[in-house]
Structure 1
Amino acid sequence: MPLNPSFASLSQRLGKGTGAGLITGWVGLPDPLVAGIVANEAFDAVVLDMQHGFVDIASAVQGVAQIALAGKPAVVRIPVGQFATASRVLDAGAAGVIAPMVNSAADAKALVSFTKYPPVGERSWGPAIALNVCGLTLSEYLAQANGLTATIAMVETREALAALDDILAVDGIDGVLVGPSDLSIALANGASVNPMSAEVDDALRHVAERCRAHGKAACTFVTTGAKGKDVIAMGYDFLALGTDVMQLRAGAKAFIEACKG
């Protein structure tokens, strides 16, 4: 059966430290219609957030379907440490998984064990809904899934930065995503949160450089379009451009200011 191009587009376009600059939406509101609306904008992919957003497993499954209907790949950020959830969202048709607080090679290997089939990992078999999304047969999916689904570990602590090369060297880790807010807190020893700080910028450049060296994708989250442009210039392959709530508030503010102006 032919592979659904929208499912494959994440792994094919993500890049390996080449600075592909994919711009993704980020959805934390649990109504799947929100995911569908965001997916119909000019984003390259859409992330569903189960960590700090309010997306649960049921709304994630429905959100993946809405994103697929818009012809885009869905990525799911799972809650901290819930690696088993990674298998569930992949079975539901997610094209990638983001895992927060991966601080060591051991954490990375544990994540991969749930996201990749043998011999790379130990993912359990059951991709019933994923087959509807990707368009492959059972045997085709088994043969291709490890290469088609992205496993992305978040780097957001001093420990993760120190172990970065070890994490990137883990077979099955396709890239890392810098969490700039948590990283800024860690780098400031808890004194402040400032994702725009010079220390975070230095860390972003370092991560991009090490990703290029390992042939893995460099990913991050930004809160402004200008910052997005900056990280693409640094060589980032994948960036989340704000959240649904941020964009909703920004849109409302712009409409009100234009009306009053």
Structure 2
Amino acid sequence: MALPKLRSRLGEGSFVLSCWLGIPEPLVHEAFLRADFDVATFDVQHGLFDVGSLRVAIERAVLLNKPALVRLPIEDRSLGARCLDFGATGLIMPMIETAEDARAFVSAVKYPPVGLRSYGPTRAAQLHNYGNRGGYVPEARIETLAFAMIETAAALDNLPEILAIEGLDGIFVGPSDLSIALSGDGTLDPGSEKTEATIRDLAASAAAAGKIAAIYAMTAEDAKRYRGYGYRMACVGSDFGVLGAGAAALAKAASA
């Protein structure tokens, strides 16, 4: 077992589907990890994880042969490097608004010469079966991914400069926050025409810059539509949503 070759999958024309997990419950993780998702994304920004539960979640994903991505808290670049040391394959940094933001993110999570990630992948090397920890480093330079979340008006204004940052592998679009930014009055409407058009444009801009376009999709239908726009990865739904909808459907069916 070595670091998952997620980069090649995202770049070869295939579409990668990720579950979205915010509940720090091992049995919930296992249910999603055993389902037919390609990747598991753990949401620390708005989820319920602490560092301990996040470490165990990443380990569980790796041991069940699924790449682990982590959406970090805003500006928590040090946790990003720790997540990679825990065994994660990729990171999503929210609220990237400028090239300077993107550059600082890359610097913290990429090994030299691209960045300044500190060396110490003891657990990552164990989990990914590198007998020599040094063997992890050259592969991590290629196979660990950094995504800048694009969700504000400033990020849209500075998009060309953000996409030009060396070592930034792609962008991750958050339709909800993006819709708030585009509305002009703080209205949440991820299905608006303006938001939808911007989502299409972002995929095209990323492709033109040679970057990977990824996105959060609220529903399976959204994920399929975004795939048609050129997105290479979609994180669909959430554990909170699936559990809530499943419980409600079961109760309704049983009481009808």
TM-score where L is the length of structure 1: 0.94
Instruction: Give the secondary structure class of the aligned counterpart of 1:8.
Output: coil
Answer yes or no: is 1:37 the counterpart of 2:31: yes
Rounded Cα–Cα distance in structure 1 between residues aligned with 2:111 and 2:143: 12
What residue in structure 1 maps to residue 186 of structure 2? 191
Larger displacement relative to structure 2 (25-34 or 97-106): 25-34
Q: 1:147 aligns with which of 131, 142, 148?
A: 142
Q: 1:220 aligns with which of 215, 222, 246?
A: 215
What residue in structure 1 maps to residue 236 of structure 2? 241
Answer yes or no: is 1:164 the counterpart of 2:164: no
In the TM superposition, residue 47 of structure 1 has moved relative to its aligned partner by: 0.6
Answer yes or no: is 1:13 the counterpart of 2:12: no
Matches within 5 A, 1:170-209: 170-209=165-204
What residue in structure 2 maps to residue 253 of structure 1? 248
What are the superposed Cα offsets for residues 157-178 of structure 1, whole Å, 9 maximum, x if unpaired?
Answer: 0111111121111111111001
Larger displacement relative to structure 2 (100-109 or 136-145): 136-145
Rounded Cα–Cα distance in structure 2 between residues aligned with 1:134 and 1:161: 37
What residue in structure 2 maps to residue 123 of structure 1? 117
What residue in structure 1 maps to residue 126 of structure 2? 132
Rounded Cα–Cα distance in structure 2 between residues aligned with 1:134 and 1:12: 17
What residue in structure 1 maps to residue 72 of structure 2? 78
Q: Percent same amino acid among aligned pairs?
A: 38
In the TM superposition, residue 238 of structure 1 has moved relative to its aligned partner by: 0.8
What residue in structure 2 maps to residue 99 of structure 1? 93
In the TM superposition, residue 43 of structure 1 has moved relative to its aligned partner by: 0.5
Instruction: Give the secondary structure class of the aligned counterpart of 2:135.
Output: helix
Rounded Cα–Cα distance in structure 1 between residues aligned with 2:94 and 2:26: 22
What are the superposed Cα offsets for residues 158-211 of structure 1, whole Å, 9 maximum, x if unpaired?
Answer: 111111121111111111001111111111124310111111111111111011
5+ residue gaps, structure 1: none
Q: How many residues align?
A: 255
Answer yes or no: is 1:58 the counterpart of 2:52: yes
Instruction: Give the secondary structure class of the aligned counterpart of 1:219.
Output: strand
What are the superposed Cα offsets for residues 88-115 of structure 1, whole Å, 9 maximum, x if unpaired?
Answer: 0000000000000000110000000111
In the TM superposition, residue 32 of structure 1 has moved relative to its aligned partner by: 3.2
What are the superposed Cα offsets for residues 65-97 of structure 1, whole Å, 9 maximum, x if unpaired?
Answer: 111122100001110011111000000000000
Q: 1:114 aligns with which of 94, 108, 113?
A: 108
In the TM superposition, residue 56 of structure 1 has moved relative to its aligned partner by: 1.4
Rounded Cα–Cα distance in structure 1 between residues aligned with 2:143 and 2:64: 19
Larger displacement relative to structure 2 (162-171 or 103-112): 162-171
TM-score where L is the length of structure 2: 0.96
**Structure 1: which amino acid aligns with 2:123?**
I
Q: CA RMSD in A?
A: 1.3
Kept in 2, the 8 Å contact 1:21–1:235? The answer is no
Rounded Cα–Cα distance in structure 1 between residues aligned with 2:121 and 2:77: 16
